[in-house]
Structure 1
Amino acid sequence: MLLILAAGTMVAAAKTTTGDGRITGKITNKVTGHPVPGVTITIPDLDIATSTDANGMYLLKRLPKGQYLIQVSAIGYASETKVVDLSNTYSVDFKLSASNYELSDIVVTALGNTTTRKRATIPITVVTNKMIREGVANTAIDLVSSLPGVNATTEGSGTTKPQINGLGFDRVLTLMDGVPQEDFQWGDDHGILIDPYAVHEAEIIRGPASLQYGASAEAGVISFKSAPLPENGAVLGSVLTEYHTNNGYLGTSLNIAGNHNGFVWGLQASGEEAHSYSNPKDGYVWGTAWNQVNARLVLGINGSWGYSRLTLSALHRRIELPDGNRDSTGRFMFDFPQNGKIYPTKSDFLSYNADIASDKSLGEYQAWWQNSLNIGKGRLGLDVGFTRSIHHDIDTGSVGSGNLLVNDIPFSFKYQLAGDSSGLKLTTGINGLYEFQRNGAAPPPPYVPDYEIPNYTNFEIGGYAIVEKNFKNLTLSGGLRFDRTDFVGDPMALNDAGNIVPAGTPGSAVQFTGFNNTYSGFSGSIGASYQLPDNNYVKLNVSKSYRAPAINELTSNGLNIGSNLVEVGNINLKAEQGYQVDIAYGYDGKDVSVEADGFYNHISNFIFANRTDSLSGGFPIYQYLSTNTAIITGVSGFLNIHPAATKWLEIDNGFTYIYSHIPNQTDSTKHLPYIPAPHLNSEVKFRLNDSHNSILRGTYLKFGMQHDWAQNNVYSAFYTELPSAQYTIFNAGVGTNFVNPKTGKTICALYVNCTNLTNVAYADHLNLAQYFLAYNGTPATVTKQSQGIYNMGRNISFKLIFPFGGNSNKVASAE
């Protein structure tokens, strides 16, 4: 029904479109006055982009009318932004200043009101497409996890979940083109179901000031975005292929998009696979193979009235789960004999089949219909979708012991009003989702079913208003939100065979009791940013957060197969209430850019899984509690050195330090578990000068270092968490574009990276696989870090991107 309605609306809109907004202009070098070809001009609110031709000219037409913030960016130049009015034909020229630092004045949209990074009142991090192309990632979260204030918990190379300022899982909201990822975010045994090749750029809000998104964004928001659609009359695309030496990662992706008189479309398809990874301590780590396929289709209409777009996507991931099962010598063993073997052979370790060890079969299917309508001087956003998440826990072969099916209907209605002359912006709306989950049928004998959460429904709805006022140098922003969450859980009873039977059946056992819980609460934010003289700026923001308990925290009652532990929920949990203060100072000069962000977060009724001294089937039992107050403080920042007189050199540094405290607790319980260790990332990049007739352009060589200090502030009771040792790893990389010197078009882009150059054996503090240990199939408690599974060793990656399409007079690029 959603697809039929969306298609009908777009056809009707196409027939009634009259007139169009447009913008054109010329982009030149501020010093020389020469035209700059290949500059990217983007309108983030419309998700559309173009580039300049050989004469520095650009044109965007058949656009919705209204006021929009546009961004101009190019490699080797500082970004520029400007508000334009597309109600009439508009001509805007830009003069760009040479700079190696591309984040000087970049547009951000994740805050609700479109603004720039420096004017945003809370810390926000931007990941550009250039950063993504030059980096190395197995998952979408890998694209952002090395940034200041951002980390990731892992259980292998293909399993990552994000953290922001020390908080993760249900406290971090992850979006893909505005769609909330509700794919079992509470589980740590599989990653966010987003294809990294579908991500063009990302924005990270670090703090609970994201009023637009609701209670799930208590710690912050990671907003992934696909590539903007091309200008009218263009068809653009690229083919990507990638290989990693350590785990044999093979990745291939096709992206193609077009625009014909306002009818826009895009197709992205990709596949990735990897065998077991290796490190100097463990050798090949059994149970870390995975594979994935993904496809996305976008169809839409642009007109003077606004735009309408429909996105359809399907992703399937099969991922093995390491459990650390070894013999007395430390050699990895099968959980059960495989074809008469008890040990995996080298061919097993190098197999791309992710269904030999205990594994998961995961599916994520989405339909997302986005609409923006011009209403007077404002815009009305109407978005609605449907997502289905499928989760099978498979112990052996193809039979699932745990089978979950979650359906979500997310919705968002938003009105935005911006007055360029007054500097006032208003965003108000209602959003939420309706979610219903069902357990699948029990597997046949001899398999034992696992029901971790009950069948339930969940309705979340919230209303908000955000106001922003821009003066010459001062930006004031504030907002208020109210959320309500209604959970209804069904009772469940099991017979002796583990099958579901009607409640009250003689001889049955109660797995879940029925419940009906309602939570509601306010969240709010008020902040300011001020542009001081000489390119200095400061920010201050005070916010109140609210989060209702998640379904696993309320109802869990069983073995979490991928995490090797038993969780017990508590339907009497209270909602979390928090207060956070963020303060930041920054300087953005021609030679140096620096920003330091500090925060203090006080959360009452903090919910976490407390390890008990009991076992079930050899696995530790964790009980969810909400009786504590949690205090989390930290500082993060970056220092980027890009000397204007030495354009071939750039030095980038990022730092994060987070400290947690639970008042009135003993030494073993006074810190929150799984707070990341303090870490520093540094990178030195050398750029080669481009000659006029050279076939190699944009060539660079880089060397990097990541140092993580020891983390001794741990929740050590019952070995819940272990101190982690410090480590230092070194990285290196090289990249270039092969260009046709006659036309200036990029033939292909090549990126080679080596991570963990010296092949250090290390275990990151948030590597949860370090707690996985069993001897001959019997679970064991890890009492020192060296007993667990370590992170990946040296890895060399090769990435090739072949761009194609465009207009004949445009400079094609890998971006």
Structure 2
Amino acid sequence: MKLIFVVMALLGTCESYSQKLIHGKITGIAQNKYEYLRVSDRQQSQLEKVNAEGEFNFYSKGSIFYLLEKNVKIDSFIVKNEKFIVVNIRNYTNQLDNIIVSNHLQNQRNIWANPVAITAVSAKQVENTISSNLIDGLVKNTPGLNAVKTGPNISKPFIRGLGYNRVLTLFDGIRQEGQQWGDEHGIELDPYNIGNTEVIKGPASMIYGSDAEAGVVSLRSLQPQVIDGKIHGQWISEYQNNNGLYGNGVSIYKRNVHWYWLGARSYRIAKNYQNKIDGSVYNTGFKELNLSFKTSYQSKYGFSNLNFTLYNDLQGIPDGSRDSLTRKFTKQIYESDEDNIKDRPIVSNRELNSYRLSPLHQHIQHYRIYSDNEYSLKNGAKVSGLVAFQQNIRREYNHPTMLEQAGMYVKLNTLNFTGKYQFSPMGKFTNTIGVNGMYQSNRNENATDFPIPDYKLGDVGIYAFSNFESGKWTISGGVRLDQRWIGSKDFYIGTNDVTGFEYAIRNNQDTMGANLQFPALHLQYSGMSASLGVTYEVNENIHLKGNIAKGYRAPNITEIASNGLDPGAHIYYIGNRNFVPEFNIQEDVGVSLNYSDLNANFSVFNNHISHYISLMQLTDANGNPVQLVPGNWTYQYQQSAARLYGLESNFQYLPKYLNGIVVESSIAIVYGNNTSAKYKNAGINGEYLAYIPPIKWVSGIEKVFQLKSQHLNKLKLKLEYEFNGKQSRYFGLYDTETATPGYSLLNAILGCTIQLREKQTIDVNVFADNILDKAFQSNLSRLKYFEYYNSSPNGHYGIYGMGRNVGVKVGVHF
């Protein structure tokens, strides 16, 4: 059940009050629904709860106001006196997706009126979702969003079958730049410092530029809610028994009328996860630390924010090596030139069950400092700007004889900038122009493996967007032009006579006898993106939507210039600098139903991509895989054409005759084909794209028990069934992928909220995922393909997913 109902924005009917305590009462809905309501001011800076009688108190620095959403009809808005108001609501549902105000296209807009397919996930949903990492939590709440996984803590978001540099991740409006081309490179964000999230499904290049070809995952940090000049905050703690995950996150803030500050810290640690086929999966543990601080000034004209974040992660690197007879995991103790994977020693039980990481691991650090500003002008226009600097440092240690020597060691510096001007309303039109871009510098440090060269990159795009609303129609559209350049110098590699390791030759060192691994490159890319969408309100309960968008993506550095081993991925990449940009055109058609007891959405999409870039395993003349580095696969990038199409549907039903019952269900289907003539009718031998999720159906039923206790007034129990179909449409060329059987999982959660004082609550959720301890493999798990033998004594190949996982998550709000 969605737990937050934000009531925001009808103004013009209520006078402005300055620094006064406003009392109010909500009428017209069932008493047990009041807990979903929140009251907000114009800046949406404070969210106050409504008590069990529908009453609220609000310390206002401006005006109380409400949003006339399509599903929230206000019969009356009565100002009793300057300090008391009464609001009567009819046709109410408690669906978060109906009332979140979207930031997409840089305008605050009702999701129901937005032609673009968007799913909103609230901060409360994130907090109440149990998962191994942030992206997995969003996947649980968003049909059409999947993740390619490399163990419990590494999940790369995929939207409608596309991922990597085709999905743009934003944090507080900033592009997340962290070498996201890597297979095992996750998202560097604090899972306990996430507020509302939006997943935009479909090309969003028109606003965000390259890399938003498939969509956007836009995450916002936690925002202070109470304005009383006192200390408030939250503490979240969780434990998961499968891999012994301990997590703690605390945030505290203080806010008055104009200023606030917020500090947050979190720490998570886990050992190897387990299942009944593999036992404990070696080197899948992690240790993660996050720190952040923000301060802000707000006035009636706008705001200015200054933020800083730090992310530090030590992450195991599994390779799946085993003993051929016992199937027990083994570990590397020699360098690659002397290492025989089939003769490695077996990992001890003590190591398998320890929180201590293997010496062969990743160390990822990510820092951000940024300022976000927005102000209203006297003519009714708005101007906003964002500038950010972020640094991503990635070390991958893969030398067992020299533990302090990193195999890959890259440092990426990125300067992001965004500017936007929203004109004052022109009748029924709202017009916006904007610019955004980035400048990057990437450098290989003291390393021995060099999958990509040092490079510098510049990127800039300008756009114009317009929104028209008249009666039952909402029409929006825009156009954007992008320019990107990327350059690098000759990059030579030498060999250390003592260690035998390779090293980068720099500072005018003698290149005699050295290997020119990366010749200099100077490339430019340009592209145009566009979008046009329409929403028609059939009546207050039914909305029809249609959208067509053209997306653009410039090839990333590894696709054009790679020529080396990524030790964490165990892949030697080979790029092609003759690539041209990808372009796609996607059509979306959908319908939304919104009644007091039923909320439903249905959409279909069709996506054509030209110059589609994908990986192909390199083989010799006999079709045998080539291993340029022993024990590692070799893949080369290629370009072709592709088509992806499918549908998504979800509904939530609250039977009026069964008080406290909520029935939810969602389904997502996507197909992906390589449409080049070479692979026509080739089936698994090249026609089907890799990493396409199978059909996924999730259905759940929840019962809320109302209790007559002063402190414990409700208890909820939810049972969930998750079905993942078999994937027989896979990229089987050169055994890159194999068929994946379908599987079903049964999950449950028991939760309650304890009310201590007016603004002090404790949320407790006890959960069990995969209750029946089902042994399964997902075709989106890279670990499925970590196998070195053609036969297995137990009939199982690769690594299986997480077994039964039982735990508890507690959130204390004060």
- Report the TM-score, using the length of structure 2 for normalisation: 0.88
Query: For residue 230 of structure 1, what is the amino acid of its counterpart?
Result: Q
Q: Hey, what's the Cα distance between the residues in 1 that align with 2:23 and 2:557? A: 53
Partner of residue 479, structure 1: 478
The offset of 1:262, in angstroms, is 0.6
Larger displacement relative to structure 2 (340-349 or 249-258)? 340-349
Instruction: In structure 1, list runs of 5 or more residues that go unmatched.
Output: 1-18, 443-448, 805-815
- Could you report, residue by residue, the CA deviation over 1:40-63 in whole angstroms, capped at 9, with x for unpaired residues? 234697655444578723435446
Amino acid at match of 2:687: K
After TM superposition, list the pairs within 5 Å mapping 1:510-659 onto structure 2: 510-533=516-539, 535-613=541-619, 614-618=626-630, 619-626=632-639, 628-659=640-671
Is 1:349 the counterpart of 2:347? The answer is no
Counterpart AA for 1:768: R
In structure 1, the residue corresponding to 2:617 is in which secondary structure?
strand
1:440 aligns with 2:454: no
Shift of 1:660: 1.0
| Partner secondary structure for residue 627 of structure 2 | strand
Aligned to 2:779: 765
For residues 101 and 434 of structure 1, do their structure 2 counterparts lie closer, same or farther at Cα, with a shift above 3 Å needed? Answer: same
Q: Structure 2: how far apart are the matches of 1:34 and 1:189?
A: 46
2:466 counterpart residue number: 467
- The equivalences for 1:715-734 within 5 A come to 715-734=731-750
Q: Corresponding residue for 1:710?
A: 726
Instruction: Tell me the SS of whatever aligns to 2:350.
Output: helix
Please provide the CA RMSD for this pair. 3.0
**Partner Cα separation in structure 2 for residue 34 and residue 271 of structure 1:** 36
Residue number in structure 1 paired with 2:674 = 662
The equivalent residue for 1:360 is 362
Match for residue 111 of structure 2 among 112, 117, 120: 117
Q: Distance in 2 between matches of 1:341 and 1:70?
A: 66
**Residue of 24, 27, 44 corresponding to 1:26:** 24
Output one character per residue of 1:280-326: Cα deviation in whole Å (capped at 9) or x when no partner. Answer: 11010001000100011011101133211101000100100110011
User: In 2, distance between residues paired with 1:529 and 1:781?
Assistant: 56
Partner of 1:377: 380
Alignment partner of 1:751 is 2:765? yes
Once the two structures are superposed, what CA deviation does each residue of 1:402-458 show, in whole Å capped at 9, x if it has no partner? 100000000000112353x9443222110011010010023xxxxxx1011111011
Match of 2:328 among 328, 331, 334: 331
Cα distance, 1:365 vs. partner? Answer: 0.2
Check conservation: 1:208, 1:220, Cα contact below 8 A: yes
Change (3 A) 1:34 1:500: closer
Residue 774 of structure 1: CA displacement?
3.8
The corresponding residue for 2:810 is 800
Compute the displacement of 1:104 (Å).
2.8
Q: Equivalents in 1 of 2:207, 2:704: separation in Å? A: 40
Is there any run of 5+ residues in structure 2 with no aligned partner, and where? 1-16, 336-342, 497-501, 620-625
1:697 alignment partner, one of 686, 689, 713: 713
State the Cα distance separating 1:537 from its structure 2 match.
1.0
The answer to whether the aligner puts 1:500 opposite 2:504 as a matched pair is yes
**TM, length-normalised to structure 1:** 0.88
Residues in 2 aligned to 1:410 and 1:48: alpha-carbon distance in whole angstroms: 29
Structure 1 stretch displaced more, 513-522 or 142-151: 142-151
Residue number in structure 2 paired with 1:173: 168
**2:433 alignment counterpart:** 428
SS across alignment from 1:532: strand
Aligned mates of 1:408, 1:744 — CA distance in 2: 44
Contact 2:597-2:654 at 8 Å conserved across structures: yes
Contact 1:604 1:629 in 2 (8 A): yes
Q: Residues 744 and 79 from structure 1, CA distance in 2 versus in 1: closer, same or farther, beyond 3 angstroms?
A: farther
Partner SS state of residue 165, structure 2: helix
Equivalent residue in structure 2 for 1:388, among 387, 391, 397: 391
Amino acid at match of 1:678: I
Structure 2 distance, partners of 1:539, 1:22, is 42
Corresponding pairs, count? 758
CA–CA distance in structure 2, aligned partners of residues 558 and 781 of structure 1: 30
Q: Is the Cα contact below 8 Å between 2:612 and 2:642 reproduced in 1?
A: yes
Please, which of 692, 696, 699 is the counterpart of residue 675 of structure 1? 692
| In structure 1, distance between residues paired with 2:72 and 2:543 | 17
* Superposition pairs of residues 196-235 of structure 1, within 5 angstroms: 196-209=191-204, 211-234=206-229, 235=231
Change (3 A) 1:570 1:536: same
Q: Structure 1 residue aligned with 2:413, among 407, 412, 415?
A: 407
CA contact (8 A) 1:685 1:703 kept: yes
Residues 1:287 and 2:290 are matched in the alignment: no
**Deviating more after overlay: 207-216 vs 630-639:** 207-216
Rounded to whole Å, the distance in 2 between the matches of 1:160 and 1:41 is 35
Structure 1 residue 25: deviation in Å? 6.6
Listed one character per residue, the Cα deviations across residues 318-349 of structure 1 (whole Å, up to 9, x for unaligned) are: 100110011112110111189x9932222212
For residue 253 of structure 1, report the CA deviation from its aligned partner. 0.7
Distance 1:69 1:192, change over 3 A: farther
Letter in 1 for 2:213: E
How far is 1:786 from its partner? 3.4
Paired letter, 1:232? I
Q: 1:25 to 1:761 in 2, by over 3 A?
A: same
Residue in 1 that maps onto 2:622: none
Bigger RCO of structures 1 and 2 (CA < 8 A, at least 6 apart): 1
Question: What is the letter of the counterpart of residue 482 of structure 1?
Answer: L
The structural deviation recorded for 1:548 is: 0.4
Instruction: Measure, in 2, the Cα distance between the counterparts of 1:641 and 1:473.
Output: 26
Distance 2:798 2:382 in 1: 54
**CA distance, structure 2, for counterparts of residue 773 and residue 428 of structure 1:** 52
Greater alpha carbon shift after TM alignment, 372-381 vs 498-507: 498-507
Q: Deviation string for 1:247-283 (max 9, x for gaps)?
A: 0000001111221231111111100010000011101
Q: Which residue of 1 aligns with 2:309?
A: 313
Q: Which residue of 2 aligns with 1:8?
A: none
Between the aligned partners of 1:35 and 1:604, the Cα distance in structure 2 is: 49
**Contact map agreement 2:127 2:192 (CA 8 A) in 1:** no
State the Cα deviation string for residues 719-768 of structure 1 (Å, max 9, x = none): 1111111000100010001224xx55544210011000000000111001
SS in structure 1 opposite 2:127?
Answer: helix
